[in-house]
Structure 1
Amino acid sequence: MNWITNYVRPRINSIFSRREVPENLWTKCGECGTMLFHRELKENLNVCTQCGHHMGISPRDRFLSLFDGGIFTEIDVPAPIADPLHFKDQKKYPERMKAAQKKTGEKEAMLVAEGEIGRTPIVACAQDFSFMGGSMSMYVGNAIVAAAERAVEMKRPLVLFSAAGGARMQEGILGLMQMPRTTIAVQMLKEAGLPYIVVLTHPTTGGVTASYAMLGDVQIAEPNALIGFAGARVIEQTIREKLPEGFQRAEYLLDHGMLDRVTDRNEMREELITIVRMLLELPPAVKGDLPAPSAENGTDAAGEPAEAAKAE
């Protein structure tokens, strides 16, 4: 053993050897190919900072950016029968459910919550495309019914973020039956005179588009979101014609009267605040206004006692 073995070789190895890099630090944009640092991407709500491409975002992260102070309360959703058809393809349905729950950290494809946006109380629900393609299941149907009932009970608007590939095939006709169920839930809101606003995100297709996703009083979409019932290839094969460029994309639907707005995700919160307050015939929200005092601890957002805030 000499100084070359003991010192020079380890020194060379430390310089040229491959360093261990933690996983998930970078995300590649599927549109422009730019490598995006995960923290920077998260701060921009999963929107590419280079080209503006809107990537998927979980319902929980969406709600954190939507509600005042990121504060919201989840609404309980009745649990349906776990495996009504005892469905099995390459895997059993319960196994697929467990895998999706482990992947997303959520128990199902829709999250329902209530809170305030611009000091305006609302009920909101959002689908998670990462959970089995956001497929419409009995649970999703229960979630929308629970959200509508809560909105009617509290006399609040309902805001729904859709993202789905259609009905869940593992539940067969029971999944398809959620189309009329959710339509009736939306009708409850309309009869109560409450606003129902839909934000269509990428992708929204199948039976979801054919039911609750296209029944909003106001229809908003994120940029370049795929929105449609059948796939473009199926339509082309059926009508035997070439479809126009951009067909079934949000901008195309906006130009042809299917949507009211196409709004960037970073501007969505302000847009929804404006629309909700307008439909409720309330004055515009005050910029920089503090959220309402907390009922739990009796303090406002600045940490001052609620009584003092009221006195001022």
Structure 2
Amino acid sequence: MNWIANVVPPKIRSFLRRETPENLWVKCPESGELVFHKDLEANLFVVPGSGYHMRMPAKARLGALYDDAHYEVIATPEVPLDPLKFKDVKRYTDRLKENRLKTSTPDCVTVTAGKIETIPVIAAVQDFDFLGGSLGMAAGEAIVTGMLTAVQRKLPFIIFTASGGARMQEGMFSLMQMPRTTVAVQRLRAAKLPYIVVLTNPTTGGVTASYAMLGDIHIAEPGAVIGFAGARVIEQTIRETLPDGFQKAEYLEAHGMVDMVVKRHDLRATLARLCGLLTQPHAAEAA
């Protein structure tokens, strides 16, 4: 029996039952270690004991990326909310409202401008917490806007990818974002501007089949799952057992699909170094 319910008077009981945040303690999926949420947040959402890289909220990632956590959010064009009037268990418009309330962002991609160790860049972050980071019209429009802004301002473009693939609620409108973003990448390339992709966990589906694998340099966070189809689907298709660690960042680096695997604490310095090297005034002439 609960002694609080049976013995303590109601007014005192309500005082004792103050609401506690659900995420006060976070369990590491790899080691089972329990970490106090504030400690995890202070450590860039990397579990101190195991080094496991938890999913990092978009706002926290941007704050850790830029000098003094200062950046400009670049406005992106509005798109039709529900072109197909899609409904499954609930209406697509209701799902959008719920996710906007949960993340405080219009869609899964946020485009920003700021400085990394005094080097100006344009950076976009894909938030998996918003409908699994799925690529829809709004996300595609944001990425294209970010790339074209980089061309206009003559700055490097960095994107942090995290997605389950295309957004099924938008059908062909979602799939069309793959060629649209690919064309925008070509605009960056024609302007001879660096395009750096940081692959975070997970990056899959149509995102991997388009802008996520078209960078000049591909960086992956440790343990990130990167691929097109899921491992189980591949095994069922080819009827073979896949190697250990298949589709993990370290496996892809060893097989040439990823240029480097960089721990989150070293990521900011690595990006600054790369942007500095790739934007030197005489780099193009020397090449």
Q: Distance in 2 between matches of 1:186 and 1:252?
A: 26
Aligned to 1:309: none
How far the C-alpha of 1:106 sits from its partner, in A, is 1.4
Rate the CA distance shift 1:255–1:83 in 2: closer, same or farther, 3 A.
same
Aligned to 2:33: 34
SS in structure 1 of the partner of residue 237 of structure 2: helix
Q: 5 Å matches for 1:76-87? A: 76-87=75-86
Aligned to 2:122: 123
Are 1:60 and 1:111, in contact at CA under 8 Å, matched by a contact in 2? Answer: no
Q: Distance in 2 between matches of 1:234 and 1:153?
A: 42
Rate the CA distance shift 1:77–1:19 in 2: closer, same or farther, 3 A.
closer
- Alpha-carbon displacement from aligned partner over 1:167-194 (angstroms, at most 9, x marks no partner): 0000001100000000000000000000
- Alpha-carbon displacement from aligned partner over 1:227-262 (angstroms, at most 9, x marks no partner): 000111111111111111100010000000001100
Residue type of the alignment partner of 2:237 = T
How far the C-alpha of 1:103 sits from its partner, in A, is 1.6
Are 1:222 and 1:265, in contact at CA under 8 Å, matched by a contact in 2? Answer: yes
Aligned to 1:67: 66
Q: 5 Å matches for 1:126-275? A: 126-275=125-274
How far the C-alpha of 1:21 sits from its partner, in A, is 4.8
Q: Distance in 2 between matches of 1:103 and 1:19?
A: 22
Q: Distance in 2 between matches of 1:31 and 1:108?
A: 30
Aligned to 2:46: 47
CA RMSD of aligned residues (A): 2.0
Residue type of the alignment partner of 1:163 = A
Q: Distance in 2 between matches of 1:209 and 1:82?
A: 24
Rate the CA distance shift 1:123–1:22 in 2: closer, same or farther, 3 A.
closer
Residue type of the alignment partner of 2:259 = D
Q: Distance in 2 between matches of 1:23 and 1:144?
A: 33
Q: Distance in 1 between matches of 2:29 and 2:120?
A: 36
Q: Distance in 2 between matches of 1:50 and 1:230?
A: 31
Q: Distance in 1 between matches of 2:156 and 2:86?
A: 37
How far the C-alpha of 1:29 sits from its partner, in A, is 1.3
Aligned to 1:111: 110
Aligned length: 272
Stretches of structure 1 lacking an aligned partner (at least 5 in a row) = 1-8, 284-312
SS in structure 2 of the partner of residue 245 of structure 1: coil
Residue type of the alignment partner of 1:245 = D
Residue type of the alignment partner of 2:115 = E
Rate the CA distance shift 1:234–1:72 in 2: closer, same or farther, 3 A.
same
SS in structure 2 of the partner of residue 48 of structure 1: coil
Stretches of structure 2 lacking an aligned partner (at least 5 in a row) = 1-7, 283-287
SS in structure 1 of the partner of residue 189 of structure 2: helix
Q: Distance in 1 between matches of 2:209 and 2:96?
A: 25
SS in structure 2 of the partner of residue 253 of structure 1: helix
Which portions of structure 1, spanning 4 or more consecutive aligned residues, are displaced by more than 4 angstroms?
Answer: 17-22
Q: Distance in 1 between matches of 2:19 and 2:84?
A: 47
Q: Distance in 2 between matches of 1:117 and 1:171?
A: 35
How far the C-alpha of 1:24 sits from its partner, in A, is 2.7
- Alpha-carbon displacement from aligned partner over 1:118-155 (angstroms, at most 9, x marks no partner): 11100000100010000000011101110011101100
How far the C-alpha of 1:23 sits from its partner, in A, is 3.8
Q: Distance in 1 between matches of 2:36 and 2:281?
A: 40
SS in structure 2 of the partner of residue 259 of structure 1: coil
Are 1:73 and 1:115, in contact at CA under 8 Å, matched by a contact in 2? Answer: yes
Residue type of the alignment partner of 2:278 = L
How far the C-alpha of 1:282 sits from its partner, in A, is 6.5
Aligned to 1:89: 88
Give the number of the structure whose alpha-carbon radius of gyration is greater: 1
Q: Distance in 2 between matches of 1:87 and 1:49?
A: 43
Aligned to 1:277: 276
- Alpha-carbon displacement from aligned partner over 1:2-46 (angstroms, at most 9, x marks no partner): xxxxxxx99xx99xx999755432111121111111111111111
% identity of equivalent residues = 53
How far the C-alpha of 1:57 sits from its partner, in A, is 1.1
